[in-house]
């Protein structure tokens, strides 16, 4: 089955700096890669996703890049703000079959004001 | 439009007790999922249901049973709770024929003493 590795486990940045979180996946058949943000005690919320037919996707201050050959994808947050502080999870799945997500272990991002 | 609704929000059980976690979605999604989230780990798939009338095991199914009662509802049952089942449980749903984005419920925090 799929295995998703996520790094780093914790990340502390100053407000206004950029943050990068990286994930690798093992199953070359995976073709859908969402990123979820989870605030303390809350549900995971989708913030951005990418499918394997594109290499990069951007939405305001967040972007995701995908390298299918190397089987890794990354989340980039620019101009970080204190409200970006949360745990971020990457995930991978296929658009066929059961479509259940395989999650990384999470990155706790702390943005220092 | 409530999205995905889980009940209860919190539950404390004694070892050996049974209980059912309820999940309902009002988005007319075909697929539904149960995940558990343990500290320092990503969400892990317990069971999923690709469509009404079908269920299948995920990564960590032992000690659990599920019922896809109808298209809206997908319940998770613990027949004889164990301390190892102390966790936060999330239900999710998606529409495979559409964008296949998974939407999560607010979670059930379960403690087994």
The per-residue pLDDT for range B15-30, each reduced to its tens digit, is: 999 999 999 999 999 9
What is the tens place of the pLDDT at every residue in B44-64?
Answer: 999 999 888 899 999 999 999
Interchain pair A98, B101: CB under 8 A: no
Q: Mean pLDDT across chain B, nearest whole number?
A: 93
Cis peptide before A107 (omega within 30 of 0): no
Interchain pair B106, A43: CB under 8 A: yes
Instruction: Tell me the two tokens of residue B83.
Output: 């301390």
Comparing alpha-carbon positions, the chain B residue that sits nearest to A31 is: B100
What's the CA angle centered on B35, arms B57 and B98, to 5 degrees? Answer: 85
Report the half-sphere exposure of A65 (CA within 13 A, side-chain side): 9
CB contacts, 8 Å: B96 with chain A: 95, 99
pLDDT at B100: 76
What is the tens place of the pLDDT at every residue in B79-102?
Answer: 999 999 999 999 999 987 767 789
Which of B17, B56, B16, B62 is closest to B33 using CA atoms? B56
pLDDT at B41: 79
Query: Which of B33, B101, B104 has the CB atom closest to A100's CB atom?
Result: B33
The pair phi, psi for residue B101, each rounded to 5°, is -75, 135
pLDDT per residue, tens digit, chain A (113 aa), is: 889 999 999 999 999 999 999 999 999 999 999 999 999 989 999 999 998 888 899 999 999 999 999 999 999 999 999 999 999 999 999 877 667 889 999 999 999 99
Interchain pair A100, B48: CB under 8 A: yes
CB contacts, 8 Å: B50 with chain A: 98-99
Q: Does B96 touch chain A (CB under 8 A)?
A: yes
Q: How many helices (H) and strands (E) does chain B have?
A: 0, 11
pLDDT at A77: 98
Query: Which of B44, B100, B103 has the CB atom closest to A99's CB atom?
Result: B100
């Amino acid at each position: 089955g799929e295995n998703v590795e996520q790094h780093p486990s914790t990340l502390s940045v100053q407000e206004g700096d950029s943050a990068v979180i990286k994930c690798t996946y093992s199953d070359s058949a995976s073709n859908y890669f969402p990123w979820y943000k989870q605030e303390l005690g809350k549900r995971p919320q989708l913030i951005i996703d990418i499918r394997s037919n594109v290499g990069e996707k951007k939405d305001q201050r967040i972007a995701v890049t995908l390298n299918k050959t190397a089987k890794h994808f990354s989340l980039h947050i620019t101009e970080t703000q204190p409200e970006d502080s949360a745990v971020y999870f990457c995930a991978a799945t296929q658009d066929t079959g059961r479509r259940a997500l395989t999650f990384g272990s999470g990155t706790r991002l702390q943005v220092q004001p | 439009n409530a999205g995905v609704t889980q009940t209860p929000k919190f539950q404390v059980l004694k070892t050996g007790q049974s209980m059912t976690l309820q999940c309902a979605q009002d988005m007319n999604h075909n697929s539904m999922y149960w995940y558990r989230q343990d500290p320092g780990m990503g969400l892990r798939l317990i069971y999923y249901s690709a469509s009404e009338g079908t269920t299948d095991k995920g990564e960590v199914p032992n000690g659990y049973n599920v019922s896809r009662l109808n298209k809206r509802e997908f319940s998770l049952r613990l027949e004889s709770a164990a301390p190892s089942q102390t966790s936060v449980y999330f239900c999710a749903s998606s529409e495979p024929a559409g964008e296949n984005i998974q939407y999560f419920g607010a979670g059930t925090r379960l403690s087994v003493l």
